[in-house]
């Protein structure tokens, strides 16, 4: 532990030999193509499938009328998404029919032959349209509970977190700044598009192959929709080629399950990148912020109104809203605070979990407010954060369910300032910004692991965590090697199969190192205890005279490598030792998030940027990211996660946004028209650093770190751009056009 060992499975990733779901071979597999409409919102009158059914190779053409009635619905927070569009389409790309054929070409041709009689209807495609008094309703009121106070609106859920007396404090503040900030819809853009293969089994069961982040959640969802016991649904989860939250929740898997049972054939659907865009995105957000400071720059109050644009179905968006809003006031010492948020439905792609889980949207506003207050008071951005950042153990969320700083967060701030050269004079045309942010880790969870130490000293770890690029299996390999004294290359890790590996709640919230890591660690220590007991029995040495420690058994005659002690304990018949480990965190009744966070991801980002005043183009000279990591179990993987998150944060800060036309159709589908950072866009110098105080709840004092480096990228970049151009931009992304427009606005206000 603590060394940058070679990545488990890394060779397959870089040589191209790794098999993703689209690479898997199945006997007698049929191909699936979807039928969609060229508009986002419509009433469906009829779906004519006759011509399609008669085409060569077609096995089935399925519409909502062919499914059990009422059409089954599924979802995480709300059971609201139909398996196929039922009487209406409420976002662009929602499937109204599915064709199953012998070949993909036949399926696609038949899909084009399906005729849909529909009437386009007005839609709500942005927050203003969705919240207007006469807004078209995304979800029909009859589909919502009778006691739902928002059933006649597009508000799905609300959240309110407050302490102190905001209005009274506002009257007493020396400086009050008030502004509105917007954060765009962006897509996850995994390298591997979505895909699913479902194989019917003898006895009416199903094998589901999907690059899902939560195999056990998918198993439960399929079982519920299909009316099957869990034992008849087996999920195989090959490593996804990128997830970032987009592959957490079920989407089209229930549909493919119905098709497989209907045809009695394995059915495969592999989406294009454009179709993947239509399946998932991050929630857009608009934040109205009002913040007060005293004469010395101390925060007096912070008041936020946050509207998350969540899309056509709930998915996990209400949880995104609550978790992001919970830390809306930031990691600061604020005596009076209020965050009032709404999850607003719209006729757009359903939003879902996305790296940062609602926190980057609000951090963009809060960090920009800190900078606005600093400008009014004549302070710099570093000074005002030094003044207000909480110390270790100090509450940043107050009230009966207070949350406290679980690290020495000031160290990250000071290190980032040092690495960016905060006090160094800047050349003309450049600006520098610094920002901090937090995200709650998991608030409940259950991870279980089995570890087998075999007779030859090799070991197998069974862990249900999905490895989507974060390198989880490498950590399990390292833990087992250290704890059992086994060579690293003799540790094998099994995951991605609900029929083999023990239960793991999910792979999200940067939880894997802490939860599954502790489960693997406990399983190894269980083996060590078992070896000691059987060694005592086999050698007739009193167990009280023995002790064990990582990799070794201490005996009256000296120290034995653990694998040698295991060999002696097992005797001539051989065999193996099996250890079981569980990491459980129960929720807390009444808590706004359902429980206390196991840890907080804290990050400080600092950026130095140069702005071309003729074009508005940005050149990032230096980007610094410093995270509170607890303990770096594998330094190379920590650096990789921070670098990846930093660059992903630059995406939504600089260029990424989904654009819609008047029909609610996404205009920039695919890699050509949707911009993400390339090697030409990354900073000239990207520096990451981890603060290690060994104070985390995970193995050896570790914390989860995979999301921290993008939490406040926008705040740091926005501040740097504002300093470089002398004008504040409050809408993301900071595209050249938007920055150039700001420069023109500045010039216009300077004219006599």
Task: Please report the DSSP string for 318-330 in residue order.
Answer: HHHHHHHHHTTT-
For 296, half-sphere exposure in the C-beta direction (CA atoms, 13 angstrom radius) is 4
Handedness of CA 137, 143, 144, 145 (dihedral sign): positive
Q: Which run of H or E residues covers position 512?
A: helix 512-539
Cα–Cα separations (whole angstroms), residue 612 to 504, 619, 700: 50, 8, 47
Distance CA 628, CA 632 (A): 10
For 694, the 3-state DSSP assignment is coil
CB 559 within 8 A of CB 570: no
d(C-alpha 320, C-alpha 310), whole Å: 9
Using the 8-state DSSP alphabet, how is residue 489 labeled?
Answer: G
Sign of the Cα pseudo-torsion (695, 699, 702, 705, in order): negative
Tokens for 165, please give them: 């007396």
DSSP state of 146: T
Can you say whether the dihedral through the CA atoms of 134, 140, 142, 147 is positive or negative?
A: negative
Three-state secondary structure call for residue 46: strand
For residues 631 and 628, give the distance between their C-alpha atoms in angstroms, rounded to a whole number: 9
Which one, of 464, 466, 433, 434, lies nearest residue 449 by Cα?
A: 464
Cis amide leading into 733 (omega within 30): yes
- DSSP secondary-structure letter at 430? E
Q: What is the spatial distance between Cα 472 and Cα 300, in angstroms, rounded to a whole number?
A: 42
Task: Report d(CA 537, CA 529) in Å as an integer.
Answer: 13
Concerning whether 411 is annotated as a catalytic residue, the answer is no
Could you give phi then psi for residue 488, rounded to 5 degrees? -55, -40
Q: Are 663 and 118 in contact (CB under 8 A)?
A: no
Tell me how far apart the alpha carbons of residues 407 and 391 are, in angstroms, rounded to a whole number: 8
Q: Tokens for 350?
A: 């359903």
Tokens read off for 628: 């509170």
Give CA 18 to chain center in angstroms. Answer: 23
The edge-to-edge listing of strands for the beta sheet with 686-692 is 430-440, 600-611, 618-630, 686-692
Given the residues 157, 707, 723, 745, the one annotated as active site: 707
Structure tokens at 336: 């009076």
The full 3-state SS of 582-643, as one line of letters, equals EEEECCCCCCCCCCCCCCEEEEEEEEEEEECCCCCCEEEEEEEEEEEEECCCCHHHHHHHHH
Closest to 221 (Cα-Cα) out of 362, 72, 425, 441:
72
Residue 406 to residue 117: CA distance in whole angstroms:
58
**Catalytic center residues:** 707
């Amino acid at each position: 532990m603590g060394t940058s060992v070679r990545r488990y499975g890394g060779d397959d990733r870089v040589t191209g030999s790794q098999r993703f779901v689209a690479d898997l071979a199945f006997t007698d597999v049929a191909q699936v193509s979807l039928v969609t409409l060229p508009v986002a919102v419509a009433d469906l009158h009829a779906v004519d499938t006759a011509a399609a059914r008669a085409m060569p190779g077609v096995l089935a053409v399925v519409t909502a009328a062919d499914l059990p009635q009422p059409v089954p619905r599924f979802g995480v927070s709300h059971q609201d998404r139909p398996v196929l569009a039922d009487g209406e389409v409420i976002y662009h790309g929602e499937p109204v029919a599915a064709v199953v054929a012998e070949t993909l070409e036949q399926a696609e041709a038949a899909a084009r032959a399906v005729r849909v009689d529909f009437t386009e209807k007005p839609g709500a495609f942005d927050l203003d349209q969705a919240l207007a008094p006469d807004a078209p309703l995304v979800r029909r009121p009859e589909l919502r509970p009778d006691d739902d106070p928002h059933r006649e609106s597009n508000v799905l859920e609300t959240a309110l977190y407050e302490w102190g007396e905001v209005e009274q404090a506002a009257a007493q503040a020396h400086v009050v700044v008030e502004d509105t900030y917007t954060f765009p819809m962006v897509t996850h853009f995994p390298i591997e598009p979505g895909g699913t293969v479902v194989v019917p089994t003898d006895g009416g069961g199903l094998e589901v192959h999907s690059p899902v982040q939560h195999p056990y959640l998918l198993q439960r969802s399929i079982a519920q929709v299909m009316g099957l016991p869990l034992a008849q649904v087996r999920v195989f989860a090959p490593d996804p080629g990128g997830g970032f939250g987009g592959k957490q929740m079920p989407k089209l898997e229930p549909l493919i399950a119905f098709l497989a049972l209907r045809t009695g054939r394995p059915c495969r659907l592999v989406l294009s990148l454009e179709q993947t865009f239509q399946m998932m995105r991050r929630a857009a957000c608009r934040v109205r912020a009002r913040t007060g400071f005293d004469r010395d720059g101390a925060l007096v109050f912070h008041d936020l109104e946050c509207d998350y644009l969540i899309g056509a179905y709930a998915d996990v968006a209400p949880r995104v809203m609550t978790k992001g809003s919970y830390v809306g006031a930031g990691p600061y010492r604020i005596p009076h605070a209020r965050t009032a948020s709404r999850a607003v439905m719209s006729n757009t792609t359903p939003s879902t979990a996305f790296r940062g889980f609602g926190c980057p949207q609000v951090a963009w506003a809060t960090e920009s407010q800190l900078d606005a207050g600093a400008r009014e008071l004549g302070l710099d951005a570093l000074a005002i954060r030094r003044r207000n950042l909480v110390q270790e153990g100090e509450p940043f969320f107050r009230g009966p369910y207070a949350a406290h700083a679980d690290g020495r967060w000031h160290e990250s701030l000071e290190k980032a300032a040092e690495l960016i050269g905060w006090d160094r004079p800047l050349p003309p045309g450049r600006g520098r910004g610094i920002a901090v942010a937090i995200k709650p880790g998991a608030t409940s969870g259950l991870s279980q692991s089995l570890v087998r130490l075999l007779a030859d000293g090799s070991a197998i770890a069974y862990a249900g965590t999905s490895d989507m690029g974060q390198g989880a299996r490498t950590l399990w390999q390292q833990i087992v090697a250290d704890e059992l004294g086994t060579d690293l290359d003799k540790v094998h890790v099994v995951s991605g199969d609900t029929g083999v590996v023990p239960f793991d709640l999910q792979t999200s919230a940067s939880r894997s190192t802490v939860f599954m890591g502790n489960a693997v660690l406990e399983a190894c220590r269980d083996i060590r205890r078992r070896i000691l007991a059987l060694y005592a029995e086999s050698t007739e040495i009193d167990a009280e005279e023995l002790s064990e420690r990582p990799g070794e058994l201490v005996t009256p005659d000296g120290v034995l490598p653990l694998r040698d002690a295991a060999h002696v304990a097992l005797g001539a018949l051989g065999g193996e030792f099996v250890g079981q480990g569980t990491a459980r965190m129960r929720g807390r009744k009444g808590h706004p998030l359902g429980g206390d966070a196991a840890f907080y991801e804290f990050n400080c980002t600092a950026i130095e940027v140069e702005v071309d005043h003729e074009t508005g183009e940005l050149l990032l000279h230096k980007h610094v990211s410093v995270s509170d990591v607890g303990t770096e179990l594998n330094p190379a993987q920590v650096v990789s996660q921070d670098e990846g998150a930093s660059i992903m944060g630059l995406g939504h800060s600089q260029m990424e946004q989904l654009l819609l036309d008047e029909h609610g159709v996404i205009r920039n589908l695919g890699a050509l028209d949707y911009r993400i950072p390339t090697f030409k866009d990354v900073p000239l110098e990207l520096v990451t650093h981890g603060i290690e105080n060994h104070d985390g709840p995970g193995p050896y004092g570790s914390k989860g770190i995979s999301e921290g480096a993008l939490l406040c990228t926008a705040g740091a970049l926005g501040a740097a751009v504002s300093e470089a151009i002398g004008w504040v931009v409050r809408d993301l992304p900071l595209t050249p056009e938007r920055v150039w427009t700001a420069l023109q606005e500045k010039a216009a206000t300077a004219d006599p």
